[in-house]
Amino acid sequence: MRAEPVLTDIKKIDSILAKVKFDQAGLVPAVIQDAENEEVLMVAWMSRESLQRSLESGMTWFYSRSKQALWLKGETSGNHQYIREVFLDCDGDTLLIKVKQLGAACHQGTRSCFSPVVGSTIAEEQSSADIIDDLYALIQERRKTLPEGSYTAKLFQKGRGRIAQKVGEEAVETVIAAMEDKHGELVEETADLIYHLLVLLVECGVSPQEIKEKLAERRR
């Protein structure tokens, strides 16, 4: 996926930067939100330079206070954020940036950096809706770290051919469970099929978001 600049007019970029009230350290907090489902993904700091780079590149750049350096989201993990909209609050001291998120936003491998502490019922419903994205992010992490004893890591080590073979095997087992009208087995085999399919998608560099967008096209 290619990033598109949010703005190309230097004067407009300068005009926006002039409206932002950076703190004494030259920073402003940026709330990052999923443009599709409006889930809050993370909060990070931006400097004038990182905000300018974000506007010019169409991808989120932040400022690390610990390293005192700029960093591009997804530079090492591949979990980039493609900017869709940028908002400035009424006081001019906080940014809201809506993005298309690839993979996990959190360094711990979850879709969002936020976890529920109140409103567990709502949180559980949201968690169920996001399980595909969370599982995809976890599989990405397994592929990156290849932890010893991990079934998923072993699949990646055996290669794409073996992963594709497992998808085929699970698909056959799912069909058999359906034809034999075994509800419990159908649920279990479908879960196995989806899991192995996600492993294959990670191996091939295809994100769940791309699948969702294609499904949305077919709904029209």
CATH code reported for the domain at 149-219: 1.10.287.1080
Tokens of 135: 């599982």
Mean pLDDT of 37-62: 94
Average pLDDT over residues 118-124: 56
Do 62 and 50 form a contact (C-beta atoms < 8 A)? yes
Tally of CB atoms within 10 A around 131: 12
| pLDDT-above-90 percentage for the chain | 57
Two domains, one topology: 10-101 and 149-219: no
* Residue 203 token pair: 């191996």
Top CATH class, 10-101: alpha beta
CA angle at residue 159 from 154 to 164, to 5 degrees? 100
At 124 the pLDDT is 55
Helix (H) or strand (E) segment spanning residue 160: helix 160-179
Read off the pLDDT of each residue in 75-90 and give the average, rounded to a whole number: 91
Domains of the chain, residue spans: 10-101, 149-219
Lowest mean pLDDT, pick from 38-47, 105-114, 126-135, 172-181? 126-135
Q: What is d(CA 205, CA 49) in angstroms, rounded to the nearest whole number? A: 31
CA separation, residue 194 to residues 105, 155, 218 (Å): 22, 15, 20
- Burial (0-12, 13-18, 19+ Cβ within 10 Å), 68: exposed
Cα(first)–Cα(last) distance of the chain, in Å? 23
Taking the C-alpha atoms of residue 177 and residue 197, their distance in angstroms, rounded to an integer, is 18
User: Encoding tokens for residue 187?
Assistant: 């649920």
134 token code pair: 């969370």
Name the most confidently modeled range: 119-123, 124-128, 187-191, 194-198: 194-198
The helix (run of H) or strand (run of E) holding residue 140 is helix 131-145
- Contact at 8 Å (CB) between 93 and 23? yes
Question: pTM of the predicted model, to two decimals?
Answer: 0.57
Task: Give the pLDDT mean for 73-101.
Answer: 92
The pairing of beta strand 27-34 with beta strand 95-101: parallel
